[in-house]
Structure 1
Amino acid sequence: MSRPYILAETNWKAVKDTHYDVAVLPWGATEAHNYHLPYATDNYEADALAAEAVRLAWEAGRKVMVLPTIPFGVNTGQTDIKLCMNLYPSTQMAILRDLAEVVSRSGIKKLVVFNGHGGNDFKQMIREVGTHFPDLWISTCFWFKALDGSAYFDHVGDHADETETSLVLHLRPDLVLPLDEAGEGLAKKTSIHAMREGWAWAERKWSQVTEDTGVGNPKKATAEKGARFYKDLTQKLGQFFIELADADLNRLYE
């Protein structure tokens, strides 16, 4: 049965007379995730998390629509890793502008770029794209930072770690290799003190940081941990979408 809040599954009969409060655009990546996770890990996660969170908002009476996931992200730090698919930020901004135009002319006033990949950074793009569509309010969120992972997992990293492995074991166990085939996700840290302290930044050269493309040990991941995290995370995201749907754009600040 089609889900009315998933654009790819619904139809013109349902869409043409429905006023939507919020459009959600999941944006992932296609890249290596240690030895054991699929290249499309970020996309499977973004698809599932956005769909479940929006289901909760929809069933609470808010008209939120999930757009199809963009499957490619910024992977400029992985150019020497085979088939890590890259979009340059300028390309991303062009795509975002085109899709924002569609959302705007469809009469939807709020757009959320639902980020599922650490290499994507939409803040500056939104600043520019937003000036072209003054009637469209654009925001972004990165689900990876919505909950404190240490409350759920023994070893929290930031790529193909216990968090992501547990999630994919819950969502798509058929695509996960046995964990004894996974690398340990050991990662080197920068030797530049300012970058260690967080007030300076440079892109990581992935193959210099990690041998297996993972950052964070996945060995203690379980589907049970993933299910618990997924439930709590989607409930929090669902509340975010409900709050956005209810928000008066003329009274956003207290």
Structure 2
Amino acid sequence: MPRPYILAETNWKHLKDESFDLAILPWGATEAHNYHLPYATDVIEGTSIAEESARIAWEQGSKVIVLPNIPFGVNTGQSDIYLDMNLNPSTQFAILKDLITVLDRQGIKKFMILNSHGGNNWKAIIRELGLLFPEMFLCVTNWFKLGNDSGVFEKPGDHADEMETSLILHLTPNLVLPKEDWGEGKELKNKINAFSEGWAWTERPWSKVTQDTGVGDPSKATKEKGETFFNLVCAKMGKLLVDISITDIDDLYQKK
């Protein structure tokens, strides 16, 4: 049966008399993830989290709709990694402007980017779009930022690490190479300390930072950890979808 909260699966018979409060757009990337994970890792994670979170919200009565995942993200620092596909931020802005125009015209006034790729940086784009669509509530979530504080994983990282390997072992284990093929995920730090401390930033040229395209040791990853973390993220995201759906965006802030 088609799920009524997944746009790609539902149909005009259902949609012609339907209305939604919140549209969710998963946005990932197509890029190398160490030696052992698929190029579609971010797409698989984002799509799965969006769909399960929407199911949770739908079953609580929230009118949410998940749009098809955008599979390409900002990979400007990986231009020499074979077939790492790049969309420039200006292209992302143009795509979002067109999509939000549709939602705004059709009366869906709440919109979330469910971001699944660390290279996508949405704040400036959302600020500019907010001026163009003043009646729209626009927001972004980064589910992967829940990983290091979840208590599930032993070794922190940020790309094809213990967290991502565990998730893909849970979601699509047939796409994960055997453990003997996993790279160590060692990251070479910038010699200028300020960039490693986080208060200064420059883009990381990926092929100079990591040998295997991973950042973070995946060796402790397990399917069980992936399932635990997936359920944790989806429960939290599902509640957020409910909260956004039922909240009056014109009365969003607490009174003093």
Q: Taking structure 1 as reference, are residues 148 and 156 closer, same or farther at Cα in structure 2, changes over 3 Å only? A: closer
2:117 counterpart residue number: 117
- Indicate whether 1:104 and 2:104 are aligned: yes
CA drift of 1:150 comes to 5.5
Sequence identity percentage: 58
1:106-156 deviations in Å (ceiling 9; x for gaps)? 210100011000000111101111222222111101111135445101112
Q: Which moved more, 1:189-198 or 1:107-116?
A: 189-198
Give the conservation status (yes or no) of the 8 Å contact 1:28–1:69.
yes
**Separation in 2 of the partners of 1:106 and 1:193?**
50
Q: Taking structure 1 as reference, are residues 150 and 245 closer, same or farther at Cα in structure 2, changes over 3 Å only? A: closer
- Indicate whether 1:140 and 2:134 are aligned: no
**Separation in 2 of the partners of 1:113 and 1:74?**
15
Aligned-residue CA RMSD in angstroms?
A: 1.0
CA drift of 1:177 comes to 0.3
**Separation in 1 of the partners of 2:193 and 2:216?**
21
**Separation in 1 of the partners of 2:150 and 2:108?**
37
Q: Taking structure 1 as reference, are residues 81 and 148 closer, same or farther at Cα in structure 2, changes over 3 Å only? A: closer
1:54 counterpart residue number: 54
Q: Taking structure 1 as reference, are residues 218 and 81 closer, same or farther at Cα in structure 2, changes over 3 Å only? A: same
Give the conservation status (yes or no) of the 8 Å contact 2:150–2:229.
no
- Where 2:130 maps in the other structure, the secondary structure is helix
**Separation in 2 of the partners of 1:190 and 1:54?**
40
| 1:129 counterpart letter in structure 2 | L
Q: Taking structure 1 as reference, are residues 107 and 150 closer, same or farther at Cα in structure 2, changes over 3 Å only? A: closer
- Where 1:250 maps in the other structure, the secondary structure is helix
| 1:237 counterpart letter in structure 2 | M
Q: Taking structure 1 as reference, are residues 81 and 147 closer, same or farther at Cα in structure 2, changes over 3 Å only? A: closer
- Where 1:127 maps in the other structure, the secondary structure is helix
- Where 1:82 maps in the other structure, the secondary structure is coil
CA drift of 1:22 comes to 0.4
1:243 counterpart residue number: 243
Q: Which moved more, 1:131-140 or 1:86-95?
A: 131-140
| 1:28 counterpart letter in structure 2 | G
**Separation in 2 of the partners of 1:150 and 1:59?**
25
1:75 counterpart residue number: 75
**Separation in 1 of the partners of 2:172 and 2:89?**
29
2:181 counterpart residue number: 181
1:67-111 deviations in Å (ceiling 9; x for gaps)? 000000000000010000000000011001111111111210100
Unaligned runs of 5+ in 1: none
CA drift of 1:196 comes to 2.0
Unaligned runs of 5+ in 2: none
1:193 counterpart residue number: 193
Give the conservation status (yes or no) of the 8 Å contact 1:206–1:213.
yes
1:161 counterpart residue number: 161
